[in-house]
Amino acid sequence: MEFLLLAHISAGIVALLSATLALCSGKGGKLHRLSGAIYFWAMSAIFITAIPMAIITGNIFLFLIAIFSFYLAFAGRRFAKNRKGIATIIDWVAIGLVLISGIAMWILAVIYFLAQNYQYITLGVFGFIALAVGYQDYMRYKNRTVIGKRRIAGHLTHMMGGTIAVVTAVLVVNVSMEPTWLWWILPTLVITPIIFWWNIKTLDRKN
């Protein structure tokens, strides 16, 4: 557990730094692509370490959040690489897993609500986002609309979503103020409007 935790935290630091570098660098340039690749592999390391830690501690909450967070980074990278917008088996499997995780989060939210655990709010919000993102990606691939500006917008949305997950982790680890659930959803509330604005700006571009 100590090794996994150390690797998990280290990967989180790398993910946060590389995400910042990717956002500040010219889109499509070498630095942007390199920092984006480092970010993806750092998110992969976060996922790979989070899953066994969740299993060892019996933390279903962490298990589901890890799947959801990694999907965002995975799908974001796929949108960057898959210029034709044609889904492969791995894309469909990933979408299926994030949809299942969203449903599972809602089920766990009900259990937490009945147990008067206020993290049901966090699970309710994240479950909704997981289902909304998964369904949207399913429709995008089904209708083959993940091309051009829509592909770029999808890449941006998912990568920023993964970054929200990293920022959230840093926040909840370092802030112990009540209510705890607020710190879990605060980055989502703050950054999501920026993602929407960026999407509109991207889709409105003439080229």
pLDDT at residue 207 above 60?
A: no
Q: Which domain holds residue 51?
A: 2-204
Going by C-beta distance under 8 Å and a sequence separation of 6 or more, which residues neighbour residue 149? Answer: 202, 203, 205
Biggest CA–CA distance in the chain, Å, is 52
pLDDT of res. 206: 60
Rounded CA-CA distance 118/96 in Å is 27
Task: Pick the range with the lowest mean pLDDT from 79-83, 138-142, 172-176.
Answer: 172-176
pLDDT digits (tens, 9 = 90+) for 150-187: 888 888 888 888 888 888 887 777 777 778 788 888 88
pLDDT digits (tens, 9 = 90+) for 5-55: 899 889 888 988 998 888 887 777 788 889 889 999 999 999 999 999 999
pLDDT of res. 83: 83
- The number of folded domains in the chain is 1
**Tokens at residue 157, please?**
């949305």
**Tokens at residue 5, please?**
């935790």
Cβ–Cβ under 8 Å, residues 1 and 50: no
Q: How far apart are the first and last CA of the chain?
A: 49
pLDDT at residue 107 above 90?
A: yes
Higher pLDDT, 169 or 99: 99
Element (H, E) at 191: helix 180-204
Average pLDDT, the chain: 88
The neighbour count for residue 111, using CB atoms within 10 Å, is 12
